[in-house]
Amino acid sequence: MNNVISFTPAELAAFIGTIAGVCAGIATIVGIIVKLVMKLKQPEIEQNKRLEEHDKRLEEHDKIIETFRTYFANDDKRFKAIERSNKVTQSALLALMKHALNDGDIATLKNAEKQLEDFLIEK
């Protein structure tokens, strides 16, 4: 049982060369696998970049749309006020016409005056 294992320097160098060759082969195979995986993932990475750009643009569009919604709401309020003002003014004009045509229709004229006065006070 006392067998001695011995190597010559040439055998040791060949053994180390074989181990180095196997390690180099493994490293080459791992490098190829990594490159292959990266190449396969490249379309996904590009798609994610495009999606992020689209999300940013959508957020900008949402801000712009919200701004215009407030503009439209303000314009709607102004249009309604103008419509009410026109209604009161046209009612007053109609009362004046009735007064002129009906030989002094005072009741209609006083009613229109009251509506115009209420409108101007509220404004």
Q: Can you read off the two tokens belonging to residue 118?
A: 């209420």
pLDDT, one tens digit for every residue, the chain (123 residues): 577 777 788 888 888 999 999 999 999 999 999 999 999 999 999 999 999 999 999 999 999 999 999 999 999 999 999 998 898 888 888 888 877 777 777 777 778 788 888 887 776
State the Cα–Cα distance between residues 49 and 30, nearest whole angstrom.
Answer: 27
Closest to 113 (Cα-Cα) out of 79, 101, 98, 103? 98
Cut 0.75: pTM above it: no
Longest Cα separation, the chain: 146
Q: How is the chain split into domains, by residue range?
A: 9-122
